[in-house]
Structure 1
């Protein structure tokens, strides 16, 4: 009997270790494969976009280690932020200043990259971690065949410099460039007509303006805001083959926390396709459950053992 118990215990450990070591990966062969994945159909797989990479206690925002932790829980769109050092190195940092998220101080634009090498990142509780500020190059190299990035730039960073980094790292097949107005979207499309663009679309007129400025529907992922989505707008965008990103960070995340995680699946039912959340694990868990219930699958979503 003791031997049987031992065997069962070992089997339990093996199963536990196997499940823990697995990650959800998003893989795309090329930009055409990504564009196909992001062309809406009723069988599309809804995804969570990990706002600032999905920080949780012990894992700070905009860190590769945090991105990797997110992939343990769900297929991950990684929303992250690139700022520019004094010597023109693109690094991952949301704020203009260093104090909130790092052990450093001052404006990022006033600091040389060499000055940042010993700076450590803080998590959202203000606890210092062992992690350091990564460069955008390092992030893009890490992300291949793992995640889909939505890349944001901070004030003063030219889009051309961001696009150059995507090109340099051959990351076109797993990168979406975030823009906030039609002029920015048109600029990015002119600079890189093969790349996908996250564009703000709050009504039909916004999409018509994007189209009139030369941005085609098959390059657009529509950010529809941070409130309950307008179903008629989502239906209209879907009829054009366009995915809808809904920002749940803030009020909608709070609503899900208070009323239950099925709020997230309700938002998908209401027309959203990607939820940009600060509650990455909870949102991702609900979307996995929703996809399983609806039988939604994609060859671009794979399980990988470490």
Structure 2
């Protein structure tokens, strides 16, 4: 009788173990529980911990852009914010996808705006190699709910106004785990008028951007500055933003990431490139290669810091 039930029991045990492993994979997460903690997390201090923002969530082979499974894969390697892209559907829902069209990153064709959410649910996403996966297109609401207790989403604009993106954060009670990108002084003021809690990634590449922010009436505690996609010749802009208590983001996708993926630099040069961006004044690096960048920055995250309480490794 024992032999009769041993094999099925073993199968159940093994399957249960596999399921448990998938559910308990350790993620490197940010511990921000409310809007005040998120503001403190982004407040610049000289002992800040440099970290990554993974462009489009950190896609790679097997993991598509703007996909929750991809987000989890990125966080399984290192702590990272996740930059995401919203688009309206035909029936007024908001889904995540970088392009306004479906062809490059899914098995669909045409404009996202020509499909309802129900129709889009039937599609599957492609990875960076163009291979079809089993993953579906997520909604912004789903991403905001998933991010709680895990990471911080950076919601780009695309065709969704800043007040709509901000309202989504409010509706999902996600002010501790999401920020919005603002491309104009008008949008920055509009978002702040809607909510004093929501933090914005504001374009901060020139000194006049700093001056405009000073005059905007929006406190610097609601801002993280995006400096450039290229390394500025003058690091004064970093110093000016830091003096005002805000952190700076610098993009690597158009420089060292591209150089690495096209074979112009090797892995060691890529790692040093990330460290150079931090040495130049960046606090956060927005990268296409969020996992590689996170590995390069990991040694910088080991020292004592007032920000350490917000990192869970």
Preserved CA contact (<8 Å) 1:50 1:278: yes
Gaps of 5+ in 1: 1-16
Larger CA deviation: 227-236 vs 65-74: 227-236
1:238-257 matches, cutoff 5 A:
238-255=242-259, 257=265
1:182 equivalent among 157, 180, 185: 185
Alignment match, 1:302 = 312
Q: Which residue of 1 aligns with 2:285?
A: 275
Structure 2 gaps of 5+ residues are: 1-20
**Over aligned residues, Cα RMSD in angstroms?**
1.7
Deviation at 1:255, TM superposition (A): 4.7
Q: Alpha-carbon deviation of 1:186? A: 1.8
Match of 1:80 in 2: 84
User: Does 1:39 find its partner at 2:43?
Assistant: yes
Contact 1:121 1:131 in 2 (8 A): yes
- Higher fraction of strand: 1
Displacement of 1:140 in angstroms is: 0.7
Q: Distance in 2 between matches of 1:91 and 1:239?
A: 37
1:23-34 correspondence runs (5 A): 23-34=27-38
- Report what 2:201 is aligned to: 198
Contact kept? 1:28, 1:174, Cα under 8 Å = yes
> Which whole-Å deviations, capped at 9, do the CAs of 1:118-151 have from their partners, x for residues lacking one?
1000011110000000011111111101011111
How far the C-alpha of 1:203 sits from its partner, in A, is 2.1
- Output aligned runs, 1:4-23, within 5 Å: 21-23=25-27
Report the CA distance between 1:212 and its aligned residue.
1.7
CA distance in 1, matches of 2:259, 2:102: 31
Structure 2 vs 1, CA of residues 200 and 73 (structure 1 numbering), >3 Å: closer, same or farther?
A: same
Matched residue, 2:135: 131
CA contact 1:265–1:290 (8 Å) conserved in 2: no
**Corresponding position of 1:7:** none
* 8 A contact 1:186–1:210 mirrored in 2: no
Q: TM-score by structure 1 length?
A: 0.89
Structure 1 residue 58 corresponds to structure 2 residue 62 = yes
Q: Counterparts in 2 of 1:84-99, with a 5 A limit? A: 84-99=88-103
Match of 1:12 in 2: none
Query: Counterpart in 1 of 2:152?
Result: 148
